[in-house]
Amino acid sequence: MKKLFIGAIMTIGTFISTIGLSLADELLVPHMTYRVGPYAANGTMVANGFTDYFLMLNERDGGIGGVKVNPEECETGYKAQVGVECYESYRGKNALVHTPNSTGITLQILQKAPEDGVPILTMGYGLSAAAKGETFPWAFNYPASYWSQMTSILSYIDSQSGLKGKKIGFLYLDVGYGREPIPVLEELGPKMGFETLYVPVAGKEMQNQSSHWLTIRKEKPDWVIMWGWGAMNPTAIKEAAKTRFPLDRFIGNWWSGAHVDTEALGSKAKGYLASSYTTTGTSFPAIQDMIKYVVEPGKSKTKIDMPGKVLYNRAMFNAVLIAEAIMEAQKMTGKKMVTGADVRLGLENVKLDAARLKELGLEGFTAPLIGGCADHENGGSIFVQQWDGSDWIRQTDLIPPMTDVVQPLLTAAAAKYVSDKSGWQTQTCK
Amino acid sequence: MEILYAIFIAPFVEMGAYPDLFIQALWDGFVAGTLYGLIALGFVLIFKASGVFNFSQPILVVLAALSLVSFYQMGVPAWISVILVLIMFYALAWLVERLILRQLVNQDGNILFMSTIGLTFIIIGAAQWIFGGVPSAMIVDELGFPNGSLEWPMFGGGVYFEMIDVSAAVIAVIMIVILAVFFSKTKIGRGLRAVADDHQAALSVGISLNQIWVIVWFVAGIVALVTGIFWGARSDVSFALQIIGFKALPVLIIGGFTSIQGAIIGGLIIGLGEKIFEIYWGPLLGSGVEGWFAYVIALVFLLYRPQGLFGDKLIERV
């Protein structure tokens, strides 16, 4: 009996240690998702694109550097407090990087990153000032901050109709995300000679925008820029058409121009513009591999028609950047099992130039992205795409941001952010 | 002085200067008001029958809209899809009565309220699992609702009437009239009021509690379907529809939780009030007043007339 007992204990011990080893031998990449709730339509696409890329790497290459990746999802419902709970649940688990997928959540966890030694990558969202790598060593918003994006959009409008003497409507979701670019408009309005009409849309009113568009009709702006998300986007496009606002003078940011926003509207959204930094379509070898190794064999939650769409492809690129940072970290440290601190270095040294993008099967997919210590946004450029009634069609070359305007604003905002935070960890870049 | 002018004079000058915009605002407010009333109606029906605030009503709207579109996408003709959704809601009403309400007869109202919260999460999970998260367009054309819009030129501008909004307003009014007559003139309607007053007393005079509950949840399902069709047509069919469902709360506070006509009057007060206030007074307050306007009005009612305009005054002996 005693032998049996010892045998049982040893078996259980071996089992537990095997599981422990197998868990320890994974690269843990937590991913805060929202497959449920009012923003689920967008969140599902983002979650699938992100996860599928890592699953493809596991299937095709055996992971990164021979170690499998665990892209573990934590459901937030796009709620900041739940996002914080997700973040806390990964403490002590050697998470390599956090991707909150929400500016609201980002603002809540930004201060925790230096304490925990895990970087936060907010690709195309988050706090714009986090672009200043010397002030925010642990936060990254590659490939461009909201502020840079806003200046690129204004450049586009300027190139189309001129900005001087114009009235620009700014229709935004009235949360941290939507309010983020307001300082740029306040700064550039007087300088470039345009007036801004601010039209906030409360989250609970996003499907009920008739009065917002009546205000726009009353004030007659020449252009409307939208910082929307979820059901706010299709509703706004419908209301714009209803109030006879020309859709080719209505431009969304990169979160307001996805297939989920326009497909259900079809030809009713024809002419609507949006910015983007990633290309649509499935012709890229990397995406073909995701379909081949993951989607078609049914190893993910992705339906076969999802790859190639705006949000799926963009989330895939988010995963590409993380994978490259992990690979870079492995190279720099000589370790296969890297830590969050190593991946932070990897993010600063990532080199996604044209040659590397081609090697990855993403030639022409996006602008080259070269990481840096001081510049955590890479000063990325955007292009403008237009809905033709059935798909998004690229309209412009890359439009660079107004660096001379954005950089001083970012520097001032970064200094202001840390001014009341004693002991804030900074870094000096050569 | 400037501020007084901006509050008391300028908005009315603007209304006179651009009458087309003012009429457009009134029309949009009227349509929004009737649709708010429709959402509120779903809550009122169940509150009348069981004295419980049905937290799951907004997700029933989502479920109805998603089911309708999904049946259609599976190749079922549009009106047959409507019938299938109605059958599904009858089955749901029966299940709710069997599995939840029957077990909670004579329990405190808070317990029933909590059970509807639980039901909400069950429906969210199940609907997410079955339908996924991808939004769809509401099949209004396929259901035969008129498309396009009418333009009424006036004073150098114009007023636009979307045909789907006209349909929504007409159908909402018809539904409200039918339901008002049903609940005041029919035996079932009177039985329902008796059930709302006291479960045990209703049972003692031979009213079938179970039957009443199935009927009322089914009727609330019909209201949810109509609401889902028209709100889905204004935006898209997705889980975001549940947010608009909670707009009914201030409507109920204003109209009263037990009154069908209160739902529509409350809806119109909110719909018209928030549009006019947002457009003419909103800019003074930095815009975005629509998000809180309804709740401020509701707060005033809670302070001075907590039972709402048409609600039953609650008198409790101590």
What CATH number corresponds to the domain at position A204? 3.40.50.2300
Look at residue A427 and tell me if it is in a domain. no
Interface of B with A in 103-132 (CB under 8 A): 124-125, 128, 132
User: B191, B207 in Cβ contact below 8 A?
Assistant: yes
Chain B contact present for A421, CB below 8 A: no
DSSP state of B278: I
Structural domain span for residue A403: 146-280+383-408
Nearest chain B Cα distance for residue A42, angstroms: 8
Same domain, A122 and A47: yes
Q: What is the CA angle A366-A41-A387, rounded to 5?
A: 50
Helix or strand or coil: residue B206?
Answer: coil
* pTM given for the model: 0.88
Same domain, A184 and A318: no
Helix or strand or coil: residue B69?
Answer: helix
* Helices B163-185 and B187-197: angle between axes, nearest 10 degrees: 80
Nearest chain A Cα distance for residue B140, angstroms: 12
DSSP state of B98: I
Same domain, A89 and A176: no
* Cβ-defined contacts of B120-128 (< 8 Å, 24+): B120/B55, B120/B56, B120/B58, B120/B59, B123/B56, B123/B59, B123/B60, B123/B63, B124/A36, B124/B59, B124/B239, B125/A36, B127/B59, B127/B62, B127/B63, B127/B66, B127/B239, B128/A35, B128/A36, B128/A40, B128/B239
Inspect the interface and report whether the beta carbons of A215 and B287 lie closer than 8 Å. Answer: yes
Domain ranges of chain B: 2-304
Same domain, A244 and A361: no
How many residue pairs from chains A and B have C-beta atoms closer than 8 A?
135
Chain A contact present for B134, CB below 8 A: yes
Chain B contact present for A243, CB below 8 A: yes
Nearest to A35 among B133, B137, B243 (CB): B133
The per-residue pLDDT of chain B, averaged, comes to 88
Same domain, A140 and A180: no
Chain A interface, best mutation among B243, B292, B293, B295, by max A CB count within 10 A: B243
Look at residue A399 and tell me if it is in a domain. yes
Nearest to B133 among A44, A203, A265 (CB): A44
Query: Cβ of A230: how many Cβ atoms within 10 Å?
Result: 31
Instruction: Give the number of domains in chain A.
Output: 2
Q: What is the dihedral of CA A75, A80, A81, A83, to 10 degrees?
A: 40
Inspect the interface and report whether the beta carbons of A264 and B237 lie closer than 8 Å. Answer: yes
Distance CA(B170)–CA(B163), nearest Å, equals 11
The per-residue pLDDT string of chain A (430 residues; one tens digit each, 9 = 90 and over) reads 555 555 555 555 544 444 444 455 899 999 999 988 888 889 999 999 999 999 999 999 999 999 999 999 999 999 999 999 999 999 999 999 999 999 999 999 999 999 999 999 999 999 999 999 999 999 999 999 999 999 999 999 999 999 999 999 999 999 989 999 999 999 999 999 999 999 999 988 898 898 999 999 999 999 999 999 998 999 999 999 999 999 999 999 999 999 999 998 899 999 999 999 999 999 999 999 999 999 999 999 998 999 999 999 999 999 999 999 999 999 999 999 999 999 999 999 999 999 999 999 999 999 999 999 999 998 789 999 999 999 999 999 999 999 999 999 999 999 999 998 888 999 999 8
Look at residue A355 and tell me if it is in a domain. yes
Which range among B52-61, B98-107, B197-206 shows the weakest confidence by mean pLDDT? B197-206
Inspect the interface and report whether the beta carbons of A41 and B247 lie closer than 8 Å. Answer: no
Same domain, A66 and A42: yes
Q: What is the CA angle B245-B250-B252, rounded to 5?
A: 85
Distance CA(A315)–CA(B138), nearest Å, equals 28
Same domain, A11 and A137: yes
Distance CA(A305)–CA(A297), nearest Å, equals 14
| Of A297, A309, A335, residue with least CA distance to A58 | A297
Cβ contacts of B200 within 8 Å, gap of 6 or more: B106
Binning chain A into helix, strand and coil, the percentages to the nearest 5 are: 45, 15, 40
Place of tokens 């069950």: B122
Chain A interface, best mutation among B238, B277, B285, by max A CB count within 10 A: B238
Interface of B with A in 248-277 (CB under 8 A): 274-275
Same domain, A121 and A171: no
Look at residue A417 and tell me if it is in a domain. no
Same domain, A257 and A392: yes
Same domain, A353 and A369: yes
Structure tokens at B313: 């005054």
Nearest to A38 among B162, B237, B240 (CB): B240
Q: What is the CA angle A180-B236-A83, rounded to 5?
A: 45
Chain B contact present for A424, CB below 8 A: no
Distance CA(A170)–CA(A149), nearest Å, equals 14
Inspect the interface and report whether the beta carbons of B241 and A207 lie closer than 8 Å. Answer: yes
Q: Candidates 1.10.3470, 3.30.420, 1.20.1340, 3.30.70; correct CATH number of B2-304?
A: 1.10.3470
Question: Among all residues of chain B, which has the CA nearest to that of A39?
Answer: B240
Inspect the interface and report whether the beta carbons of A211 and B18 lie closer than 8 Å. Answer: no
Look at residue A333 and tell me if it is in a domain. yes
Please, is A422 exposed, middle or buried when counting C-beta atoms within 10 Å of its C-beta (0-12, 13-18, 19+)? exposed
pLDDT tens digits for range B140-167: 999 999 988 888 888 778 899 999 999 9
User: A173, A227 in Cβ contact below 8 A?
Assistant: yes
Look at residue A413 and tell me if it is in a domain. no
Same domain, A208 and A309: no
Look at residue A53 and tell me if it is in a domain. yes
Inspect the interface and report whether the beta carbons of A200 and B278 lie closer than 8 Å. Answer: no
Could you give the C-alpha distances from A304 to A44, A325, A385, in angstroms and in order?
Answer: 14, 29, 24
**Which residues in A lie closer than 8 A to residue B168 (C-beta atoms)?**
none
Look at residue A416 and tell me if it is in a domain. no
Chain B contact present for A407, CB below 8 A: no
Q: Work out whether the CA dihedral B284, B288, B289, B290 comes out positive or negative.
A: positive
Same domain, A255 and A400: yes
Count of CA atoms in the C-beta half-sphere (13 A) of A44 = 23
Interface TM-score (ipTM) > 0.90: no
